[in-house]
Structure formats: structure tokens, C-alpha cells
Amino acid sequence: MGAAAPGRPLPEHGCPASEEVPGRRGPSVRQIARLFRSLPEAQDRVRNAERFYDALVFSVASQGTDAHAKNYSLLLEGDRARLAPLYDLGSHAPYPTRGAALTLAMSIDDEYRIRAIGTDALVRAAVSLGLDAGYARDRAGVITAGVVDAFDRAADEARAVLGPHVFIDRLVDGIASWAEERGWR
């Protein structure tokens, strides 16, 4: 990757920055936590850990089975680093599972099976990121409690542009069913 244009941040996705070569499974939350702890600025360490934790919780709440390290990038500018806006946020919710266990691309508290990841596992992941357990529990509650409304609003915006579409309905219904199953609504 070359140098950024003057005044522009240099993007770096999570795999090279963590010195991991992704195979079937890429870096773990703990490995990414080590990357954040190595950042020179304390405020960058905390803010990136908080944003990354939010993304982990969202991946569970939205059945984001493809949220792997290459989907997270750091924008580097001088000695500063910040997590780039999230991208490639797919959800498995509109698709039938055919009885197979849904798995995440990145383990949370050493668990890949999405149904096995609860608030306690998310909090342990947050603590490994250097976050306070109480903060993590509260934040997980806010994100999981709001996931249905967030997808409803996004669906309304999509329908305004695309018109009615069966995929949009399946996605919203799948998220609502998932949230109901998990006790988030």
C-alpha cells in the first residue's frame, strides 16, 4: 500500500495491521485488542475499542455472519489512527438456515456459533478490548434493543427508493424474528 496523499488518512485493513495472514479464520478479537493497545494515542485506543465493540455487538444483533477482520480498517494519519466507517455489513437474516448453525467469521469469546454468543460473551470480549464491563453491558443492551427499529427505518428508506421488494420484507422479518428469539424486544 502506498503513501496517502498529503492531508489524507492512509487506510489499513485489520489483517496486515495485526500482522496476521488470514486463512480460514483471521485475527481474533483478542489479537485486534492488542493492535488497539499498541496505538500511540490513549484516546485512539479507547475510541477504536468502543467502536469496534459496537460493531461486534451489531454483527451478533444483525446476524452479520461475514464480519471478519478485513471488513475493519484503520485510517492512519501521522501518529493517529481511527476505525474507518463500517462497510460490507451483510445480514444472514433473510436467508433460510436449513437447520445449520449460523457462525460468525470472527469468534467472540472463542465462540463462532452466533446463537451461543450472549451478553456475557460480548462483555468478556469488551473487557479484552480494555473496556469497562458495565459500559459494555449497557452498550450491548442499547444496540440489541434498537436493532429492529434500525432495520425498519433502513427498510423504509430502501422502499422509498426501490419500491416494495420481497428481499426487504424478508430481511426485516428475519431481524424481528431473531430479536424476538433472543429476547431483545
Q: What pTM value is reported for the model? A: 0.85
Structure confidence at residue 112 (pLDDT): 93
Asked if the model's pLDDT at residue 52 lies above 90, the reply is yes
Mean pLDDT of 136-154: 98
77 touches 9 (CB < 8 A): yes
Structure confidence at residue 19 (pLDDT): 46
Residue that wins the pLDDT comparison between 79 and 19:
79
Residue 58 maps to a domain: yes
Domain count, the chain: 1
Q: What's phi and psi for 24, nearest 5 deg? A: -65, -40
Residue 3 maps to a domain: no
Residue 170 maps to a domain: no
Q: Which helix (H) or strand (E) holds 30?
A: helix 29-37
Residues of the domain holding 118: 10-145
Residue 136 maps to a domain: yes
Residue 168 maps to a domain: no
Confidence of residue 185 (pLDDT cuts 50, 70, 90): confident
Residue 2 maps to a domain: no
Cα torsion 173, 160, 150, 12 to 10°: value is 110
